[in-house]
Amino acid sequence: MAPIASSASVAAEVISTLSLSPPSAVIAFAGARDHYQSALALQEHGALEALVTDAYCPGSWSRFPLLGASFRRFAAARHAEGLPTDKVVTAWNSFIRSLGSRIDGRKDSPHLAAADRWLSAKAARVALARKAPLIAYSYYAEPAFRLLDGSGLPRILFQVHPQAKFLRDLFVREAALVPEAAASLRRESEMSSAYGEVDGSFAEADAVICASSFTKHSLEVAGAKVPVHVVGYGVDLDLFSARTLAPSARPLTVGFIGALSQRKGARYLLGALASLPKGSAKLILYTRTTVDRDLIRGFEAVDVEIRGGLSDAELAADMKCCDLVALPSIAEGFGLVILEAMACGVPVLCTTSTGGADFIVHRENGLLIEPGSTEAIQREIEWALTHRDELFQMGQAARREAEKHTWAAYRRNFFAAYVASTQA
């Protein structure tokens, strides 16, 4: 087997030297994963055989007033300009079961696991019928890869999150270190037995694509022997436009985007803020979920403001008022909010267990620390309190870095990684 190596830049060199076009591929995932950018990467290069998904809508549906505002929002989210509907194969059984999981509400809902299996089987049947390579996102890979065994068709895994067993082991250790966060960690999807099938997907694959070096590391620890290509995500530079003025509010404003969980280092961040002089810093929590009150117990003195339900455009505008965005995660497959904040000119404090480690240079275009340390977060926020001007300039450098990570660049690199994977 080939050693774990390669990257998007190496793959780009590979594609430039190939004389033959790669075969068109079937790609499989549910929802609007990565804003459909991976499917668009194949389509732009004439290499999309089919997208197998649970629901996809014609563009006109989001503009039809009789369908209702909620459905129009759904239709807009489940459509991408440049991705024709005749290239989409819908796994309706998967969509119906996913609706059941929404009613159920549990992360380990059997409906959700069934939806993933239906989508996986559909993708395998389409790939076999069309004699096409299959690119399957990690939740949907294992059953499909088994069905393709012996077919001779390339099986390429897109590893969305760090490898599942790697994460379970990490969460067990974390729960022992921070017992107050054990309940938060038990709610993570990877802790459910329903997700056991995703553990070994890499062993069935001929190649892997993932979004960060940290995810690649998790596969190495798990024993992967196939080529792994790191292709970092992109950001919409128009939606997340750069601020030109430094925030003037006092105290120092720290933004946190997403569900407040221990996976994202919640208690470490709250502990750091609690240790600061009263009134010196404020946390703004941007979230669309309820806040886990057990997780924040003991940190009631921290000044926290919750701003929920914002659209992407509203979030992009509002986060420009923050001096800093914090994502001190113990494990991220990438962390899109890192690039989104950087594109807004807001510096990010994140850990080496995120995609930020691939492009953030500490105290140049962001703040990069090791995970699991309240003291490290406190040290960087204390530095930020006395270096507001430097923090703003760091945000300007962050924007310049974000400009290198467009979705167009992602599509080019993803396609190059696909070509390299079919040549492995």
Q: What is the mean pLDDT of each run of 10 residues along the chain (424 residues)?
A: 43 49 95 96 97 95 83 92 96 89 72 90 98 96 95 97 94 95 90 68 94 98 96 98 88 95 96 96 92 86 92 95 97 97 98 98 98 98 96 98 98 97 84
Helix axes 164-177, 213-222, angle to 10 degrees: 100
Select from 3.20.20.70, 3.40.50.2000, 3.40.50.410, 3.40.50.720 the CATH code of 252-402. Answer: 3.40.50.2000
Whole-number Å distance between alpha carbons of 280 and 388: 13
- Which pLDDT does position 29 carry in this prediction? 97
| Identity of residue 357 | A
The answer to whether domain 8-234+407-422 and domain 252-402 are alike in fold is yes
Report strand pairing: 48-53 vs 88-90.
Answer: parallel
Residue 256's contacts (CB-CB under 8 Å, 6 or more residues apart) are 264, 269, 283, 284, 285, 286, 287, 325, 326, 327
C-beta of residue 118 within 8 angstroms of C-beta of residue 176: no
**Residue linked to tokens 């070509």:** 419
Structure tokens at 48: 């999309």
- Cα dihedral 287, 292, 293, 298, rounded to 10, equals -90
- Region of residue 82 (phi > 0: left; psi between -120 and 50: alpha; otherwise: beta): left
Whole-number Å distance between alpha carbons of 178 and 372: 10
- Which pLDDT does position 103 carry in this prediction? 76
Sign of CA pseudo-dihedral 91, 92, 98, 100: negative
- Which pLDDT does position 400 carry in this prediction? 98
Q: Find, among 256, 354, 348, 335, the residue nearest to 296 by Cα.
A: 256
Whole-number Å distance between alpha carbons of 47 and 40: 10
- Which pLDDT does position 62 carry in this prediction? 87
Whole-number Å distance between alpha carbons of 98 and 92: 10
> What are the backbone dihedrals phi and psi of residue 29, each rounded to the nearest 5 degrees, phi first?
-165, 160
Whole-number Å distance between alpha carbons of 263 and 249: 29
- Which pLDDT does position 3 carry in this prediction? 39
- Which pLDDT does position 13 carry in this prediction? 53
What HEC string does the chain produce?
Answer: CCCCCCCHHHHHHHHHHCCCCCCCEEEECCCCHHHHHHHHHHHHCCCEEEEEECCCCCHHHHHCHHHCHHHHHHHHHCCCCCCCHHHEEECHHHHHHHHHHHHHCCCCCHHHHHHHHHHHHHHHHHHHHHCCCEEEEHHHHHHHHHHCCCCCCCEEEEECCCCHHHHHHHHHHHHHHCHHHHHHHHCCHHHCHHHHHHCCHHHHCCEEEECCHHHHHHHHHHCCCCCEEECCCCECCCCCCCCCCCCCCCCEEEEEECCCCHHHCHHHHHHHHHCCCCCCEEEEEEECCCCCHHHHCCCCCCCEEEEECCCHHHHHHHHHHCCEEEECCCCCCCCHHHHHHHHCCCCEEEECCCHHHHCCCECCCEEEECCCCHHHHHHHHHHHHCCHHHHHHHHHHHHHHHCCCEHHHHHHHHHHHHHHHHCC
Classify domain 8-234+407-422 by CATH architecture. 3-Layer(aba) Sandwich (3.40)
Whole-number Å distance between alpha carbons of 201 and 155: 10
Whole-number Å distance between alpha carbons of 353 and 369: 9
- Which pLDDT does position 19 carry in this prediction? 42
Within 10 angstroms of residue 62's Cβ, the number of other Cβ atoms is 17
Burial 343-373 (b: 16+ CB within 10 A, else e): bbbbbbbbbbbbbbbbbbeebebbbbbebbb
Whole-number Å distance between alpha carbons of 406 and 239: 12
- Which pLDDT does position 105 carry in this prediction? 67
Could you state, in order of their start, the residue ranges of all structural domains in the chain?
Answer: 8-234+407-422, 252-402
- Which pLDDT does position 194 carry in this prediction? 66
Burial class (CB in 10 A: 0-12, 13-18, 19+), 59: middle
| Identity of residue 305 | E
- Which pLDDT does position 328 carry in this prediction? 98
